Amino acid sequence: MTLLRISDLKTQFPTPDGIVRAVDTIDLSIGERETLGLIGETGCGKTVLGLTLMRLLQSSTKTEGTIIYKGTNLLKISEAEMRRIRGEEIAMILQNPTTSLNPVMRVGGQIAEAIRLHQGLSKRDAKEKAIEMLDAVRIPSPSIRVNEYPHEFSGGMKQRVMIAMGLACNPSLIIADEPTKGLDVTIKSQIMKLLKEVTEERAMLIITHDLGVARELCDRIALMYAGELVEYATTGEIFEDPLHPYTRGFLGSLPSNGLVPIPGMSPSLINLPDGCRFHPRCGHATELCRRKHPDMIEIEDGHFVRCFHA
Amino acid sequence: MLEVLGLTKYFSSGLIRKRYLRAVDDVSFKIEKGKTLGLVGESGCGKTTIGRLILRLTKPTGGKVLFDGIDLFALNRRELLAIRPRIQMIFQDPDSSLNPRMKIGTSIAEPLKLHGTIPKAKRGQRIRELIETVGLNPEHVNRYPYQLSGGQNQRVVLARILAMNPDLIIADEPTSSLDVSVQAQILNLMKDLQKKFDHTYLFVSHDLDVVRIMADRIAVMYLGRLVEIGETGDIYDCAKHPYTQALLSAATVDGGKERIVLKGETSSPIDMPAGCRFHTRCPRKRERCTIEEPELVEVGRDHYVACHLV
Ligand SMILES: Nc1ncnc2c1ncn2[C@@H]1O[C@H](COP(=O)(O)OP(=O)(O)OP(=O)(O)O)[C@@H](O)[C@H]1O
Ligand SMILES: Nc1ncnc2c1ncn2[C@@H]1O[C@H](COP(=O)(O)OP(=O)(O)OP(=O)(O)O)[C@@H](O)[C@H]1O
Ligand code: SF4
Ligand code: SF4
Ligand SMILES: [Mg+2]
Ligand SMILES: [Mg+2]
What are the tens digits of pLDDT across the range A134-185? 999 999 889 999 999 999 999 999 999 999 999 988 899 999 999 999 898 8
- How many other C-beta atoms can be found within 10 angstroms of the C-beta atom of residue A188? 23
* DSSP letter, residue A150: G
DSSP labels, A96-127: -HHHHS-TTS-HHHHHHHHHHHHH---HHHHH
As a whole number of angstroms, the distance between CA A255 and CA B183 comes to 8
Task: Using an 8 Å CB-CB cutoff, list chain A residues near B154.
Answer: 42
Closest CA to B1 of B29, B40, B25: B29
Helices marked H in chain B: 47-54, 77-83, 104-115, 120-133, 150-164, 180-197, 208-214, 232-238, 242-251
Q: A138-162 burial string, b = 16+ CB within 10 Å, else e?
A: bbbbbebbbebebeebbbbbbbbbb
Residue pair B38/B215 in contact (Cβ under 8 Å)? The answer is: yes
Q: Is the pLDDT of residue B203 over 50?
A: yes
The domain A2-89+172-305 is placed in CATH, from the list 2.40.50.140, 3.40.50.300, 3.90.1300.10, 2.30.42.10, at 3.40.50.300
As a whole number of angstroms, the distance between CA B68 and CA A59 comes to 52
Q: Is the pLDDT of residue B63 over 50?
A: yes
pLDDT of residue B260: 72
Over pLDDT 70: what percentage of chain B? 95
Residue pair A209/A42 in contact (Cβ under 8 Å)? The answer is: yes
Over pLDDT 70: what percentage of chain A? 100
Q: B152-187 burial string, b = 16+ CB within 10 Å, else e?
A: bbbbbbbbbbbbbbbbbbbbbbbbbbbbbbbbbbbb
Ligand 1 pocket (Cβ < 6 Å) reads: A 13, 15, 20, 22, 42-48, 95, 269; B 147-152, 177
Q: How far is the CA of A156 from the centre of ligand 5 (A)?
A: 17
Closest CA to B135 of B92, B182, B86, B196: B182
Q: Which CATH class is domain B2-305?
A: alpha beta
DSSP labels, A43-60: TSSHHHHHHHHHT-S-TT
Closest CA to A146 of A157, A78, B45, A217: A157
3-class DSSP state of A265? coil
Q: What is the mean pLDDT of residues B38-43?
A: 95
* DSSP letter, residue A174: E
Q: Is the pLDDT of residue B257 over 80?
A: no
pLDDT of residue B15: 63
pLDDT under 70: residue ranges of chain A: 118
- pLDDT tens-digit readout, B133-157: 999 999 999 999 999 999 999 999 9
pLDDT of residue B196: 93
DSSP labels, B174-212: TTTTS-HHHHHHHHHHHHHHHHHH--EEEEE-S-HHHHH
Give the relative orientation of helices B120-133 and B104-115 as an angle to the nearest 10 degrees. Answer: 130
Residue pair A184/A157 in contact (Cβ under 8 Å)? The answer is: no
pLDDT of residue B255: 43
Q: Which atom number of ligand 1 is nearest to the Cα of residue B148?
A: 31
Identify the band that residue B270 occupies on the pLDDT scale cut at 50, 70 and 90. confident
Average pLDDT, chain B: 91
Collect residues with CB below 5 Å from ion ligand 5. A 47, 95; B 149-150
pLDDT of residue B19: 79
- How many other C-beta atoms can be found within 10 angstroms of the C-beta atom of residue A10? 16
Residue A28, CA distances (Å) to A2, A3, A63, A220, A233 in order: 10, 11, 16, 11, 11
pLDDT of residue A85: 94
pLDDT of residue B253: 53
pLDDT of residue B115: 73
Model's pTM, two decimal places?
Answer: 0.94
pLDDT of residue B256: 47
pLDDT of residue A11: 98
Show the beta-strand stretches assigned E in chain A. 2-15, 18-31, 35-40, 62-69, 72-73, 90-93, 173-177, 203-207, 220-225, 228-234, 297-300, 303-305
DSSP labels, B155-167: HHHHHHHHHH--S
pLDDT of residue B107: 92
Cβ of B207 and A42 within 8 Å?
A: no
Collect residues with CB below 5 Å from ion ligand 6. A 154-155; B 48, 92
Task: Using an 8 Å CB-CB cutoff, list chain A residues near B135.
Answer: 265-266
* DSSP letter, residue A86: I
Residues 90-119 of A with CB under 8 A from B: 95-99
Query: What is the CA A278 to chain-centroid distance, rounded?
Result: 22
| Residue B89 falls in which region: left (phi positive, over 0), alpha (psi -120 to 50) or beta | beta
- How many other C-beta atoms can be found within 10 angstroms of the C-beta atom of residue A205? 25
As a whole number of angstroms, the distance between CA B168 and CA B157 comes to 15
pLDDT of residue A131: 94
Q: Which atom number of ligand 3 is nearest to the Cα of residue A230?
A: 5
Identify the band that residue B16 occupies on the pLDDT scale cut at 50, 70 and 90. low
- How many other C-beta atoms can be found within 10 angstroms of the C-beta atom of residue B65? 21
For residue B2, give the amino acid letter: L
Residue extents of the structural domains in chain A: 2-89+172-305, 100-170
B116 vs A201, more confident: A201
